Amino acid sequence: MREMTTWERPFCGALRAADAGRRVELVGWVRRRRDLGGIMFVDLRDREGWVQVLFPEEPLKGAAAALSAEDVIRVVGTVRPRPAEMVNRDMATGEIEVVAERLELLNQAETPPFVVEDSVNASEELRLRHRTLDLRRPEMMANLVLRDRITFAVRQYFHEMAFVEVETPILTRSTPEGARDFLVPSRLSPGTFYALPQSPQLFKQLLQVAGLGRYVQIARCFRDEDLRADRQPEFTQVDVEASFIEEEDVYALVEGLFHRIFPLVGIEPPRPFPRLSYAEAMERFGVDRPDMRFGMELVELGDVARGCAFEVLVKAAATGRVKGLVVPGGAAFSRKQLDELSDLVKPYGAPGVLWFRRTAEGFGSPARKALGDAGIEAFLAAAGAGPDDLLVALGGPAKVVFAALAALRVELARRLGLIDKAKHAFLWVTDFPLLEWDDDTKRYYACHHPFTSPKPEDVALLESEPARVRARAYDVVMDGIELGGGSIRIHDPGLQRRVFAALGIDEAEARHKFGFLLEAFRYGAPPHGGVALGLDRMIMLMAGRDSIRDVIAFPKTTAGNCLLTDAPNTVDAAQLAELKIRPS
């Protein structure tokens, strides 16, 4: 009963008032069926939404009465305007309906494990197990469609900017992003392994040495980390590298991209993006990806702590940092709310917070005995706290103080409703440290990766004060979420050797790990740099979702499992034997 070719057939969800009078063929899934005053109504759903189809007369009416949810049908009918009182403004197709003349059942569905609706109340586990049904829900399908539109716009932008998309290998060597590799045993060379790329870092640099000049790739990356709620073992980056480029070129390129793609969802990024150095971001927000949609910045309490009568704070100021934040209106917090503050910082290794306030009953603080009223007043004054405010303070090792206050700041802002969801804050964080000391292994690690260039003015400190060397590295941040980062790379073999030395990588190890790159660099490596942007996260933010799993067609759980296919799974003994792997 085909009346139209597939390419002429409209989507059910795309029919509008302008289609009234059109004879159409529609295919899709039965969303639901209703019997209203002797007329049979079926909501017919496809990728774009759904439309109401009427079956007013027998024998069609009877055939429609036998349909159940998720049956696959074909309908031929005529689009007509709905009577005025039946128009549904909440529905994209709400001004019209389709009067059916023909109906064909293409496939019958069993009763699905959950109702395919946006208001689904099935657990995420059930949704992931039946991902096909989950994706059939209009909001999930809309996420996939949005992802395609954004990815297309990204490709178009880079194409216009004279970038070339190059595919780099998936079966490769270990790459230097600092996470654990996924390994793939080689059958042809038993005992050896490929690594899945943590990023195409080395290949995109090699392409610059080759002379490509401007590289982009929508690249799948793999990192075998313990997964946090918003991470996936495989994820997608918009991976970019270009030659003869400086920081300002990268900022302009990425800002241009964001001005192209964010307006697609009604978000207008600023021009230009504000910038903060890493050091300033840490001092003011305690974190290198600050959410700047609200204030409540950290305040410095080192000086007042040093001179105060509370031994614990004096010591903390001498050996670490004492900082705090002023909670607007927090003076009225209940005892329970105050106790909760300490619970919030405990996961970050802080024993608890100190608080200071002045209420109708006078000055208050758990440290009142030691500090006296004047001492409390000194802290409130140093923090610039107003009469209704609460000062929350924390002393200890810098790492703990920053991390705990940063988390507290965001959580309090959320609870106090200080975050305006309609507002968005983009920024660049610049001048990251080149190296980070690790107390457990007693050595420095590259904050970004070992090919990141130090700032020329800091190169002299590489041997004497490595911790003070700043990198030509940058991150782009939106609403407290890191969207991506990159750096200008080292192209001078002498400087690369010095950075390897600072990282405790000797010549032999450097040759073993990155020999092919260093070799290529001998024959004319251009100055180059790049950036990688997390596509999943960007699309999550654009779709207004809280989980990247909602914008990935077939995601894994936080335990790294695909509930749909049951991966990872065991394999045949014969497969292992071929790989010369003994089952344990």
Question: Measured from the CB of residue 490, what is the shortest distance to ligand ASP in angstroms?
Answer: 12
Question: Measured from the CB of residue 450, what is the shortest distance to ligand ASP in angstroms?
Answer: 11
Nearer to ligand ASP, 269 or 484 (CB): 484
Residues 6+ apart with CB under 8 A from 413: 291, 294, 296, 419
Question: Measured from the CB of residue 451, what is the shortest distance to ligand ASP in angstroms?
Answer: 8
Which among 71-79, 146-154, 505-513, 524-532 is the span making contact with ligand ASP, rule CB under 6 A?
A: 524-532
Residue 487 interacting with ligand ASP (CB under 6 A): yes
Which among 138-146, 370-378, 425-433, 480-488 is the span making contact with ligand ASP, rule CB under 6 A?
A: 480-488
Which among 35-43, 224-232, 485-493, 563-571 is the span making contact with ligand ASP, rule CB under 6 A?
A: 485-493
Dihedral over Cα of 578, 579, 582, 584: its sign? negative
E strand or H helix that includes residue 140: helix 138-160
CA atoms within 13 A on the CB side of 564: 13
Interaxial angle between packed helices 507-520 and 201-210, expressed in degrees from 0 to 180 and rounded to the nearest 10: 40
Nearer to ligand ASP, 221 or 380 (CB): 221
Residue 486 interacting with ligand ASP (CB under 6 A): yes
Q: How are beta strands 275-277 and 426-430 bridged, if at all?
A: parallel
Binder among 201, 205, 232, 342 for ligand ASP (CB under 6 A): 201
Q: In 133-203, which ranges are E strands? A: 164-165, 183-185, 193-195
Q: Rule CB under 6 A: which of 176-195 touch ligand ASP? A: 177
Q: In Å, how far are 308, 475, 485 from 272, measured between CA atoms?
A: 43, 15, 17
Nearer to ligand ASP, 396 or 450 (CB): 450
> How are strands ordered across the β-sheet holding 473-478?
164-165, 214-222, 234-243, 528-534, 481-488, 473-478, 426-430, 275-277
Nearer to ligand ASP, 342 or 487 (CB): 487
User: Helix or strand or coil: residue 111?
Assistant: coil
Residue 531 interacting with ligand ASP (CB under 6 A): yes
Nearer to ligand ASP, 396 or 454 (CB): 454
Nearer to ligand ASP, 50 or 474 (CB): 474
Which among 244-252, 318-326, 482-490, 576-584 is the span making contact with ligand ASP, rule CB under 6 A?
A: 482-490
Binder among 150, 207, 257, 532 for ligand ASP (CB under 6 A): 532
Binder among 454, 485, 499, 517 for ligand ASP (CB under 6 A): 485
CA 385/CA 378 separation, integer angstroms: 10
Q: Contact, 239 vs 216, CB < 8 A? A: yes
Question: Measured from the CB of residue 435, what is the shortest distance to ligand ASP in angstroms?
Answer: 16
| Amino acid letter, residue 214 | R
CA 62/CA 229 separation, integer angstroms: 49
Q: In Å, how far are 215, 500, 512, 514, 522 from 519, measured between CA atoms?
A: 21, 15, 11, 9, 5
Which among 87-95, 510-518, 526-534, 551-559 is the span making contact with ligand ASP, rule CB under 6 A?
A: 526-534
Nearer to ligand ASP, 70 or 241 (CB): 241
- What spatial distance separates the first Cα and last Cα of the chain, rounded to whole Å? 58
Binder among 77, 396, 530, 555 for ligand ASP (CB under 6 A): 530
- Which spans of this chain sit near ligand ASP (rule: CB under 6 A)? 177, 199, 201, 237, 485-487, 530-532
